[in-house]
Structure 1
Amino acid sequence: MTTLEITLIIIGVVFLIGSFMVNDKLSHKDLDKIADMSAEELKIITEKEVTAAKKDLSDALDEEITQKQDETKRSLEKEANSKIMAINEYSDTVLDSINKAHNEIMFLYSMLNDKHDELTRLSGDIDKASSRLRSSFEPLSADSAKRAEKPSVAVQKPAEPKSGTMQQDTKPDTKQMTGIDISGIIKTQPASAAPASKAGATATAGTAASVSVKASDAALGTPAGSSANADIINHTHEILKLYKSGKSNVEIAKLLSLGTGEVKLIIDLYKEGK
């Protein structure tokens, strides 16, 4: 049942009870007076009562509507508050996640800065170490360049004579210059000599400076021992091996740390002896 129906029932009950009370209170004189009233007067009285009932009904309906509106408003506010609280909790969770991610990013950024500083420091240390190495190797490089530029044996290739006899006469006496018959060594060098081992080449390159000095002393007439002769023989084999592999005189001189003139002399003697 709706509110309107309940209100109408209540009004009907009130009128019913009121009618009994009116009948009890009215006297016979009043009843006779009412009976004498015309139909128009009864209509006016009825309209007044209906208007009053409508007003009461309207007031009751307005009150009920206001009450329902208040209840609906309270329920909506309660629902809205619950939704707002849920949204606040979710926003707090999201903010916590964002703060956590921000802290992690800042930690990683700090680590990257530390690594950058460390790399910068290591780069500076490497630059300093390389500068010290360059400064320490500069005197050695200068000495090596001086030894490479200054030939151990200054020999000029003689002009080729027209006859074989004159060529044999003008061939330089290597035995007199170096104390060793290099031409004999070159002539006895086999055409298909086995290449020296890699370790022997390294050892020869390591002792090249001392051998070059000894060979220079021999070329200038300085008496040399048996160890100097053996070094010159070894250098002769190394020079011929590198020459057969296609190396130039300058490259051979750099590899063996010998003078260019000394290398050129041995190669020229090898060519003439072929």
Structure 2
Amino acid sequence: MIFLEIVMIVIGLGAIIYSTKITDGAESSDIKSVVDWQDQMEQLRHKIEQFNEEITRKQEEKLEDTSEKMNTISNEKIMGISEYSDQVIDKIEKNHAEVVFLYDMLNEKQAEIQKLIHEADSSKVQFQDELAKSYQNVKDIVDPVVVSGKDAKKTGNEQSDSDLSEEDYDLQKLSDKERQAFDEEFSMQEEEKKVNHNEEILALHDKGYSILEISKMLEMGQGEVKFVLDMYA
């Protein structure tokens, strides 16, 4: 009986000891698994950090490359725009210089034309003065001769042809020559009046008068007025 109890006690103690060893082994295995898992997690975290760092570095490199490329492109565009603007400015300055040159040339031509017009007017006035003086001189010569011729003609009508003296005949002959000169001078005077009429026609037309009004004012035909206006148009 006692032996059986001792055996049972030994078996119980052995079972307890065995169960204790099994529990200790399981706990050790669990602890090791936890430690391994923590190590793996630490390694994974480290790899994730490395991956993030690599991504950040790549992003920074890409940003730097992109920034450099953008700067290069911007500089090229700016240089192109600057060159184009310089060309445009050069063309504008060239065109401005040409316009100024043409303007100066036109002013010079205008001054020359005004000078020629002034000289022509002066020559015209001088010619008219000389013509008037010549006409007056011829008139001073012709008038006495015409009067003498009229007196001689009157005397000749009272006398017969046989009674005319040689002196009266020469005077009548001279009177014919002078009368011809007078007629020529009278024609020149009429031409001068015609020129003056032309000036009057142009002046009235510039003031806005019609052809009919001008013809009535100057007592001329409308066709003549129109001819003068067309001639000086």
- What TM-score, normalized by structure 2, do the two folds share? 0.48
Q: When you count helix as a share of all residues, which structure comes out higher?
A: 2
| Larger relative contact order, structure 1 or 2 (CA cutoff 8 Å, min sep 6) | 1
